[in-house]
Structure formats: structure tokens, C-alpha cells
């Protein structure tokens, strides 16, 4: 199977449809300042201000937005996702000066990170101010804040009261949505509006950094890599629970303890020299195919012809790690629609964005990995 290309909305693709009582607004980033788009975003913003829920595109994944300063809106978000309420939400802003109202202090290092990476795929943890309800932060006295670069997201935030709490717009336990169709699958009928802005450019959730501790600590790897953060800050650490997932240490980002991003079929990663990995996966598969099982394989363009008898899913070329990151979740979702009994996946170099790709793959596999 070919790696999917993005289906970014093109200019002029503005419109609305109704699916199971959820309005779907189609708005491309290029059209965001058109009169039609503005009217739709105004309507969506008003729904947020009045306590409703609007799913929207960002450069990472789609978010499920509600008014972050309204406890009832946050409770509705948890209910729509089926998410445990001890797992806090990220508050999204679209103007740096709005940060002061929701945090107690802004450490100097946070200023440096904002300068370097906002707007963009970086979330920071701050001590929260009293205005942020416990329902939004899962009872924590800190708040996670992100300023997305996606223009549709920015306009919705500004029109929706300037503080939009948004987890990824998937049902709890499913891979994060990177297209509006994924959000429709999971949440149509359960929320007021879905804004369809085409495929997410990056495809993995933002990097989370706790700037309330010294040295700052990465709680979730993403596009802003350890190397990029160190270049700005000097020393940066990684939550030990991420380095050593079998240690039993509790992750500092509550959401990282759940086995999400998980396809329904059992998944196993296989690591080693390229040809040895392919041979081993084929050897495993041969036994299982004999028993009448259906086997899925996650591979790349380079080796997609090398797994006869298996359902092969290519995440893109190994030469383009960003493409691999962008396609991963759509492929994990496709496994749920297919009837495979077991999935084997090749592994990826943990350099740069590869660290985030491997973090998500390991979680999808429930940490099951075969080292050759
Ligand atoms: O890219 C993203 O960050 C996307 C888009 C929509 O912005 N959002 C997203 O949200 O991935 P969510 O809810 O799926 O993941 C948020 C993560 C969870 O693991 C949560 O536990 C953690 O952030 N988190 C939120 N507030 C926190 C806090 N105060 N301290 C530690 N971790 C926190
Ligand atoms: Mg999520």
C-alpha cells in the first residue's frame, strides 16, 4: 500500500455539512481571512464561549476545544472523549500576552523557549493562577499551555474567548486524529462542531516541557527535540519514566501512563539490522499465516515489497522521518478498520523526531519489542 499524501484543504474549499447533528465546517488555512471563513469561525467561537465543544485542526493533531476557564466545558470534554478526569488538558492561546492571566509566574527559561518555538508544537507547564479551574488541570496546581501555529486554530482561540482547553480530539484509547475524518469517526454526534482544515502537517502531539522545574524536563517527546531545546536552554532532562518505561516510575505527564495510540490488534516491534528484521518478521508471520491468522506489517517504502502474504502498511520513506511521523496515526487507525490479528512493526532511528515516533510506537505496542 502506498504512503498516503496529505489532503490539505485548498483555497475556496469553504462550506458546511451536518453529520449526526454535528456541524462540519471546511476551512483551509489559506482562506482563514475570507468573509465566509470568518463568519464560520465566529459561529464556532460563540459556541465555545457559550460552553459548547468544537474540534479544530492544529499543526500537530486535531484538538477537542472548550472554554478552558469554564469548569463545565472541561467536564464536557472529558465526557465526550471518555477520558479519565485525572488527565489534565492543555490550554491553547493565540497571543503571548494572554499567558500572564493563567500562570503565576513566567520563568526566564520559558521566555527563551517562547521566543524560539512559539507559535508552534511546544507545550509548557507553569504554576497555574486561580482563574484556571481544577476541572481543566485534573486537580493539579500547574497548567499546560500551548500557542499553536495553525491559523485556523489561532482564529478559533481568539474568537472563542482566548483560552481553549483542548486534548487530542480522539476517543480515549484511540490514536490521535490527524484528519477531520478521524474526528468524525470518533466524535460526530457527541460535539457541536468539527472544523475540517485538512491533514495535520506534523502528525504527532506537541513536545511537553516542564519549565516549573530546574533544569527543565521533557515530559513528552515531539517535533521540538531534546537537541533543539538544549541549544536554547543548555541542560534539559527527560522524565525518567520515558527513558525506562518498565521501571514502574509514574510519568510526570499523567496522560503518558495510559496505553493509548493502541490499535485493537496486538502489536510487536522488531529491532535489529534491516535484513534480519525483515527475515524475522516473515518467519513469525509464516507460522501465524499457517494458522489462518491475518498479519499486518508496518514498514517503509524501501521494504514494502518484502512481506509476501502480509497486509503491508508503508509509513513513508526512511529518508524522510517527518513523513513517517505525519503518517503514523492514520495507519494505526487503519489497522482498526482492517481485520488483522497481529501487527509487526519495524523500528526507527531515535534521532531527532525519531524519538517521538519511537515513543508513540512503543506505547502502541504496549512496550513489546523483540531485539535481534
Ligand atoms: O499537540 C498537542 O499537544 C495536542 C493539540 C490538540 O494541541 N494536544 C494534546 O492533548 O495532545 P492531550 O490532552 O491529548 O495530551 C496532553 C498531555 C497529557 O499527557 C496530559 O497528561 C499532559 O499533557 N498534561 C496536561 N497538563 C499537564 C500538567 N499540568 N502537568 C503535566 N502534564 C500535563
Ligand atoms: Mg491525547
Q: How far apart are the first and last CA of the chain?
A: 26
Q: Cell 515531539: give the residue.
A: 222
Closest by Cα among 68, 116, 73, 71 to 96: 116
The count of other CB atoms within 10 Å of the CB of residue 82 is 13
| CA nearest ligand 1 atom 20, residue | 255
Query: Residue 287 C-alpha to ligand 2 middle, in angstroms?
Result: 35
- Cell numbers at 239, concatenated: 522524565
Atom of ligand 1 nearest to the CA of 121: 1
The per-residue pLDDT for range 251-308, each reduced to its tens digit, is 888 888 766 677 889 999 999 999 999 999 999 999 999 999 999 999 999 999 999 9
Closest by Cα among 44, 182, 29 to 12: 29
User: Closest ligand to 123 CA?
Assistant: 1
Best of 174, 242, 253 to mutate for ligand 1, by most ligand atoms within 8 A of CB?
A: 253
343 bridge partner residues: 267, 296
22 bridge partner residues: 19
Q: Which of 83-92, 118-127, 135-144, 297-306 has the lowest mean pLDDT?
A: 83-92
Radius of gyration for the chain, computed over Cα atoms and rounded to the nearest angstrom: 20
Query: Residue 339 C-alpha to ligand 1 middle, in angstroms?
Result: 31
4 pLDDT band (50/70/90 cuts)? Answer: very low
Best of 92, 167, 217, 325 to mutate for ligand 1, by most ligand atoms within 8 A of CB?
A: 167
The per-residue pLDDT for range 324-335, each reduced to its tens digit, is 999 999 999 998
Running DSSP on this structure, what letter comes out for residue 304?
Answer: T
User: Closest ligand to 260 CA?
Assistant: 2
pLDDT for 12? 62
Of the two residues 265 and 73, the one the predictor is more confident about is 73
Query: Residue 53 C-alpha to ligand 2 middle, in angstroms?
Result: 16
Q: What is the mean pLDDT of residues 231-244?
A: 92
Best of 128, 144, 204 to mutate for ligand 1, by most ligand atoms within 8 A of CB?
A: 144
Q: What is the mean pLDDT of residues 132-141?
A: 96
pLDDT for 337? 86
Q: Is the pTM of this model over 0.75?
A: yes
State how far Cα 325 lies from the chain centre: 11
- Cell numbers at 311, concatenated: 497486509
pLDDT for 73? 98
Query: Residue 166 C-alpha to ligand 2 middle, in angstroms?
Result: 9
CA distance 345 to 348: 10
For every residue of 236-273, DSSP letters joined together read -EE-HHHH-GGG-PPPSSGGGGS--S--SSEEEEEESS
The per-residue pLDDT for range 349-361, each reduced to its tens digit, is 998 899 999 999 9
Pocket of ligand 1 (CB under 6 A): 58, 60-61, 63, 87-90, 123, 125, 137, 140, 142-144, 146, 166-168, 205-206, 208, 219, 252-256
The CB-side HSE value for 225 (13 A sphere, CA atoms) comes to 12
Q: Cell 460526530: give the residue.
A: 188
Best of 58, 80, 88, 171 to mutate for ligand 1, by most ligand atoms within 8 A of CB?
A: 88
Helix (H) or strand (E) holding 126: strand 122-127
CA distance 223 to 22: 31
What residues contact residue 262 under an 8 Å CB cut-off, 6+ apart?
173, 175, 332, 363, 364, 366
For every residue of 171-185, DSSP letters joined together read -TTSPPPSSHHHHHH
Amino acid at each position: 500500500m502506498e504512503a498516503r499524501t496529505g489532503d490539505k484543504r485548498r483555497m475556496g474549499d469553504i462550506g458546511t455539512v451536518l453529520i449526526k447533528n454535528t456541524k462540519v465546517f471546511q476551512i483551509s488555512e489559506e482562506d482563514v481571512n475570507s468573509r465566509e471563513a470568518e463568519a464560520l469561525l465566529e459561529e464556532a467561537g460563540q459556541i465555545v464561549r457559550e460552553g459548547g465543544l468544537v474540534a479544530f485542526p492544529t499543526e500537530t493533531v486535531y484538538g477537542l476545544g472548550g472554554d478552558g476557564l469554564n469548569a463545565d466545558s472541561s467536564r464536557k470534554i472529558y465526557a465526550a472523549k471518555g477520558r479519565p478526569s485525572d488527565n489534565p488538558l492543555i490550554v491553547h492561546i493565540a497571543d503571548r500576552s494572554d499567558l500572564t492571566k493563567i500562570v503565576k509566574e513566567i520563568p526566564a527559561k520559558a521566555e527563551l523557549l517562547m521566543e524560539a518555538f512559539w507559535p508552534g508544537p511546544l507545550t509548557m507547564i507553569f504554576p497555574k493562577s486561580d482563574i484556571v479551574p481544577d476541572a481543566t488541570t485534573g486537580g493539579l496546581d500547574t497548567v499546560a499551555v500551548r500557542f499553536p501555529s495553525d491559523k485556523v486554530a489561532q482564529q478559533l482561540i481568539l474568537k472563542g474567548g482566548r483560552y481553549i482547553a483542548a486534548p487530542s480530539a480522539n476517543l480515549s484509547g484511540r490514536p490521535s486524529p490527524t484528519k477531520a475524518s478521524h474526528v468524525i469517526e470518533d466524535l460526530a454526534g457527541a460535539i457541536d462542531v468539527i472544523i475540517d482544515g485538512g491533514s495535520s502537517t506534523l502528525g504527532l502531539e506537541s513536545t511537553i516541557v516542564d519549565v516549573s522545574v530546574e533544569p527543565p524536563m521533557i515530559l513528552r517527546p515531539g517535533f521540538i527535540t531534546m537537541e533543539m531545546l538544549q541549544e536554547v536552554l543548555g541542560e534539559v532532562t527527560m522524565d525518567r519514566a520515558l527513558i525506562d518505561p518498565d521501571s514502574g516510575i509514574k510519568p510526570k505527564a499523567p496522560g503518558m501512563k495510559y496505553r493509548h495510540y493502541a490499535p485493537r490488534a496486538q502489536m510487536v516491534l522488531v529491532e535489529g539490522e534491516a535484513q534480519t528484521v525483515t527475515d524475522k518478521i516473515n518467519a513469525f508471520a509464516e507460522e501465524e499465516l499457517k494458522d489462518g491468522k491475518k498479519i499486518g506489517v508496518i514498514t517503509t517504502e524501501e521494504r514494502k515489497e518484502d512481506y509476501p502474504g502480509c497486509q503491508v502498511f508503508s509509513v513513508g520513506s526512511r529518508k524522510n522521518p517527518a513523513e513517517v511521523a505525519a503518517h503514523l496515526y492514520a495507519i494505526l487507525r487503519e489497522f482498526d478498520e482492517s481485520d488483522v490479528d497481529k501487527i509487526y512493526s519495524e523500528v526507527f532511528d531515535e534521532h531527532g523526531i525519531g524519538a517521538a515516533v519511537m515513543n508513540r510506537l512503543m506505547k502502541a505496542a504496549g512496550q513489546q519489542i523483540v531485539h535481534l
